[in-house]
Structure 1
Amino acid sequence: MMRSHLLLFLFVSLCLIGCSPENEAETLYVAAASDLYHALTEIGEAFTEETDIALEFTFGSTGLLTQQIQEGAPFDLFLAAHESYIDRLMEREALLPDSKAYYAIGRLVLMGPALPEGDQLALDYLVDPEVKTIAIANPEHAPYGKAAQEALETSGIWEEIQPKLVYAENIRQAYQYAESGNADVGIIALALMNETEFPYEVIDEDLHLPLMQALGIPAQTEKEELSRKLAAFILSEQGRSILQQYGFDLP
């Protein structure tokens, strides 16, 4: 009888070991700006293939992800669409102090079914009566939305096109509005253009402040070593090459 109990105990122990958080320890939880949806997914696949470390991504607007990290969300790495959000978290000691690094410079494009193909377009085109709706990410918490507002202000048409604006939660949602036809035009991240069939035109980078994109490691991570390994991979020649393929400039 005692032997049966001992065997049962050993069997249960082995099951618990097999179901222990060993696999969980090899999974990194990554918060990332939504402009990185395609590029970071590809980088992640290459990283996992090389290291056997699994990645779980949460894509969203940089502002909302910043708020979640401030409130203690259990992320192991954060890739923001603008460095100011990394600096904000650094000031509040929500990121490891030596973990900030620049990984990309974002670019904006005009894109959508209402755009004529083959023409060099200026933002002035948006005042055309044929353009009824313009999708941008919300400037309040999305760096690409703020850059879009800056570009429109520099062009002198921000006030005039106000009634046409449709605000999206993040830049990927703005892309979806334009791609689905729910907006005639979108001001979108170039990095999201790899699957679109619609015409698009890159916006002059001098019309807005640079979208200097930076990453940092949340202070609450329990996987600092693995987080640094992933950050180094993103900043490696292989990671930077993938970022360039999706239209990012390099810092």
Structure 2
Amino acid sequence: MKWIPGLLLALGLSFTAQAEKFTIAAASDLRYALDEILEGYKAEHPDQRVEVIYGSSGKMTTQIINGAPYDVFFSADIAFPEKLKEEGLTATEPEVYAIGRIVLWSKTQDASRLTLADLTRDDIKRIAIAQPAHAPYGARAQEAMTATGVWDQVQDKLVFGENIAHTAQMVASEAADVGIIALSLARFPDLASHGHYLIDDRLHQPLTQGYVVTKRAEHNEAARGFARYMATEPAHVIMERYGFLLPASQP
């Protein structure tokens, strides 16, 4: 039966194509940096198909627990990959890939001249932060405002983004007067034309960002290969340009 070798070849090609495809779930603070990193990666691996889903780390953790088809998970807080490990849903150990920072940013004011204490001013009527319940950047914003004594005073001004990219969009569209967003987003060229104020990282717990390859991708060499690529010099150069501290560069 001459069709059998052809069928086996077709099946083999199908399995190969499947192995060369993977899906990344990534925290929204990575949106611009990771897009750039993937440009370089895809140029080196044109045979691989990569899909990226951006969102809040907490929500994506819940999605993975509920069976979402994500192969690599880049979280804004390593606690979420550690939770997945406890659930038996990881193929690798949780690893730190970066430390994030938070900033004050505004489209309508010179945020470089603002501090957290200024958030109580009467002319600042809406303050955007990511939802602290499931977005690490929102939780750190709450911690910083609490540490400086303004959290209770600004409750009626707060508006919440689903994730940190949504929060930045709210401020950029002037739905909020000022926001506490990721430094990595404030450094994106479209936002970098407006100044920002770097919030003292002693005011909040560190944004220790971690990743894992999920159990689903245990035998997906393409997914594992991209996870390793994030530790290369080209990826590190881009991450540092967007304001991330790398594990080797931590003080």
Partner of 1:67: 62
Partner of 1:108: 102
Instruction: Please say if residues 107 and 194 of structure 2, whose CA atoms lie closer than 8 Å, have aligned partners that are also in contact.
Output: yes
Partner of 1:173: 166
Structure 2 counterpart of 1:43, one-letter code:
I
SS in 2 for 1:209: coil
CA–CA separation in structure 2 for the residues paired with 1:118 and 1:248: 19
Q: CA deviation at 1:198?
A: 2.5
Instruction: Please say if residues 19 and 221 of structure 2, whose CA atoms lie closer than 8 Å, have aligned partners that are also in contact.
Output: no
SS in 1 for 2:228: helix
- Counterparts of 1:194-213 in structure 2, within 5 Å, are 194=188, 195-196=190-191, 197-213=193-209
Partner of 1:76: 71
| CA shift in 2, pair 1:173/1:118, >3 Å | closer
CA–CA separation in structure 1 for the residues paired with 2:44 and 2:202: 39
Say yes or no: does 1:161 pair with 2:157. no
Q: CA deviation at 1:227?
A: 1.9
The unaligned stretches of length 5 or more in structure 1 are 1-5
The unaligned stretches of length 5 or more in structure 2 are none
Partner of 1:54: 49
Q: CA deviation at 1:37?
A: 0.3
Q: CA deviation at 1:182?
A: 0.6
SS in 1 for 2:53: strand
- CA deviations on 1:68-107 (whole Å, 9 max, x unpaired) are 11111111100000011111111111112x4321110001
CA–CA separation in structure 2 for the residues paired with 1:76 and 1:163: 40
Instruction: Please say if residues 168 and 174 of structure 1, whose CA atoms lie closer than 8 Å, have aligned partners that are also in contact.
Output: yes
CA–CA separation in structure 2 for the residues paired with 1:99 and 1:229: 15
| CA shift in 2, pair 1:118/1:165, >3 Å | closer
- Counterparts of 1:213-228 in structure 2, within 5 Å, are 213-221=209-217, 223-228=219-224
CA–CA separation in structure 1 for the residues paired with 2:17 and 2:184: 32
- CA deviations on 1:7-61 (whole Å, 9 max, x unpaired) are 9x79x95996698354343121000000000011111111111122221000000
Structure 1 counterpart of 2:33, one-letter code:
A
Say yes or no: does 1:95 pair with 2:90. yes
Instruction: Please say if residues 104 and 111 of structure 2, whose CA atoms lie closer than 8 Å, have aligned partners that are also in contact.
Output: no
| CA shift in 2, pair 1:117/1:69, >3 Å | closer
CA–CA separation in structure 2 for the residues paired with 1:130 and 1:123: 14
* Matched pairs, number: 242
Which moved further from structure 2: 188-197 or 22-31?
22-31
SS in 1 for 2:243: coil
Structure 2 counterpart of 1:64, one-letter code:
K
Partner of 2:134: 141
Structure 2 counterpart of 1:103, one-letter code:
Y
| CA shift in 2, pair 1:223/1:59, >3 Å | farther
CA–CA separation in structure 1 for the residues paired with 2:121 and 2:143: 20
Structure 1 counterpart of 2:202, one-letter code:
D
Which moved further from structure 2: 222-231 or 53-62?
222-231
Partner of 1:31: 25
Partner of 1:3: none
- CA deviations on 1:141-186 (whole Å, 9 max, x unpaired) are 0000000000000010000001000011000000000001011001
